Amino acid sequence: MSVVKVIEINAASPTSVEDAVRKGLAKCAESVKNIKGAWINETKVVTDGGGEITEWRVNLRVSFVVE
């Protein structure tokens, strides 16, 4: 029998949502083993005064198998 745990993390990137997800998962993998997947809960953008996007932010739920 396997037990799966889900944690929530936030990540950001000046480039894209995909890059924010990749950076978040890479950082998470430094301390969490057996990552099996992730869900994007929220997506947010930060803008400059002119409405241009300066940063993409994601809130992720990351699942992993507990050893």
DSSP 19: H
Return the structure tokens found at 50.
């002119």
Q: For residue 18, what are the CA distances in angstroms to 1, 2, 14, 64?
A: 33, 29, 11, 20
> What does pTM read for this prediction?
0.90
Return the structure tokens found at 20.
């924010």
Confidence label for 67 from pLDDT (cuts 50, 70 and 90): confident
All domains of the chain in start order, with CATH:
3-66 (3.30.1660.10)
Question: Looking at the chain, how many residues does it have?
Answer: 67
User: Quick one: pLDDT at residue 29?
Assistant: 98
pLDDT, one tens digit per residue, over 1-41 is 899 999 999 999 999 999 999 999 999 999 999 999 999 99
